[in-house]
């Protein structure tokens, strides 16, 4: 059976879209008419339609969706269902149209005689190289359900870590935006009102007050220009990042920064160890696993270091020695890899190294977030104090003159 995408009008004249499995497009039209709907278009999910979806944004899956699909597949295959039936069952459990399209498209390829890994590879935006290589290793070893379970655990861990970091950054980001809004409002609305009071007197204003009035006048008159210049600078920077050499220099600086560098290196080291661990447990050769793992590294400088380490391993060097040549990877992780190589349990030590790095990353993120919130509050309180002090100094001087 093939998968078909249909568009039809229901009995209320409303346009409906969906997918259906059938032997032919004629059978789909017949089923739609039996429901009282009028078929408008029925197309098989393959060929040009599939390729068009492949290069569209709707062909992407986020990590949480990948984890859920993989976990469902592992459960169904372990229960004894063939791959094509498992894919069909998984498609029925999702209500997002693009997810259903992808799963049914993969099922169509499997029904044509392709392996699951080859079918998944037709959707590189949904299933990356690491995912497909892991599934292929599971198919070759005959333990597809076990490999899918390991892959699901890996994806679930990544999804939970990303969600934790995002949630942790919400509060500092809110404080930052709120602080900027309050300060801009005070400088463009409150300060000018106070200046009107001071302008009626001819006394000399304190220097702090004069500075604050000058900043207020500048923001009130030229805030639009500042915003425009910032926007232009951001656009130029984003376009400059398309240049590989410039992007490499930026990534190298990010990896060397005091706090940001620690976050970047720890995060990418965690991805590397996790990906290498699951590929090694699935039976993928080490050199191939390293080449695949380099694709999950986000920082180009660290990715280049992994590729250089891959070349050293291909020439006969050890993994720990190759990674130790770079300053990007934590010494603890390199030492654990060396221990795994000497004991013959590299895959287990990679997994333990990834777990250690995840805890390290969580600790660094918690520390940064716990400091960022109070620092933003102190920064906002300091600026507000300066504004209030600048406005109060002339008033206190006027009171002193009246007493005299």
Please give the mean pLDDT across all residues of the chain.
81
Q: Does the structure show a pLDDT above 60 at 151?
A: yes
CA angle at residue 168 from 232 to 297, to 5 degrees? 65
pLDDT digits (tens, 9 = 90+) for 366-375: 787 778 778 8
Please choose, from the candidates 192, 355, 331, 349, the residue with its C-alpha nearest in 3D space to the C-alpha of residue 265.
Answer: 331
pLDDT-derived band at 229 (thresholds 50, 70, 90) equals very high
Report pLDDT for 23: 72
Report pLDDT for 311: 92
Average pLDDT, integer, range 364-383: 80
pLDDT-derived band at 62 (thresholds 50, 70, 90) equals confident
Report pLDDT for 51: 45
- The percentage of residues in the chain with a pLDDT greater than 90, rounded to a whole number, is 10
Report pLDDT for 240: 92
Average pLDDT, integer, range 106-134: 84
Q: Does the structure show a pLDDT above 90 at 298?
A: no
d(CA 144, CA 262): 36
Q: Are 70 and 158 in contact (CB under 8 A)?
A: no
Report pLDDT for 203: 62
Place of tokens 């050293």: 312
State residue 65 phi and psi, 5-degree precision. -65, -40
Report pLDDT for 402: 55
């Amino acid at each position: 059976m093939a998968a078909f995408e249909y568009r039809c009008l229901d009995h209320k004249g409303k346009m409906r879209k969906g997918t259906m499995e059938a032997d032919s497009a004629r059978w789909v039209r017949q089923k739609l008419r039996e429901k009282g709907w009028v078929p408008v278009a029925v197309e098989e999910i393959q060929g040009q339609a599939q390729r068009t979806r492949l290069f569209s944004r709707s062909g992407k899956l986020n990590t949480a969706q990948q984890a859920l699909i993989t976990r469902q597949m592992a459960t169904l295959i372990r229960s004894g269902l063939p791959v094509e039936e498992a894919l069909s069952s998984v498609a029925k459990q999702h209500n997002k149209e693009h997810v259903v399209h992808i799963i049914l498209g993969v099922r169509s390829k499997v029904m044509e005689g392709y392996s699951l890994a080859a079918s998944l590879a037709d959707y590189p935006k949904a299933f990356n190289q690491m995912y497909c290589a892991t599934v292929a290793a599971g198919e070759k070893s005959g333990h597809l359900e076990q490999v899918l379970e390991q892959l699901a655990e890996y994806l679930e861990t990544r999804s939970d870590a990303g969600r934790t970091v995002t949630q942790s950054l919400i509060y500092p980001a809110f404080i930052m935006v709120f602080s900027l809004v309050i300060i801009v409002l005070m400088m463009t609305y409150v300060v000018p009102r106070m200046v009107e009071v001071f302008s009626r007197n001819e006394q000399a204003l304190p220097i702090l007050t004069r500075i604050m009035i000058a900043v207020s006048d500048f923001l009130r008159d030229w805030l639009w220009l500042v915003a425009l210049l910032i926007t232009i600078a951001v656009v130029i920077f984003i376009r400059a990042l398309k240049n590989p050499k410039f992007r490499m220099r930026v990534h190298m600086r990010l990896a060397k920064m005091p706090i940001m560098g620690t976050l970047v290196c720890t995060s990418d080291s965690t991805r590397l160890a996790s990906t290498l661990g699951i590929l090694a447990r699935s039976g993928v050769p080490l050199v191939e696993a390293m080449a695949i793992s380099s694709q999950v590294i986000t920082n180009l400088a660290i990715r280049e270091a992994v590729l250089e380490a891959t070349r050293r391993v291909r020439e006969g060097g050890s993994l720990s020695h190759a990674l130790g040549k770079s300053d990007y990877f934590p010494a603890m992780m390199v030492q654990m890899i060396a221990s795994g190589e000497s004991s013959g349990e590299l895959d287990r030590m990679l997994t333990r190294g990834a777990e250690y790095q995840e805890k390290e990353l969580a600790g660094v993120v918690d520390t940064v977030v716990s400091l960022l919130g109070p620092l933003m509050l102190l920064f906002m309180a300091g600026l507000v104090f300066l504004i209030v002090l600048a406005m109060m100094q002339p008033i206190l001087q006027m009171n002193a003159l009246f007493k005299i």
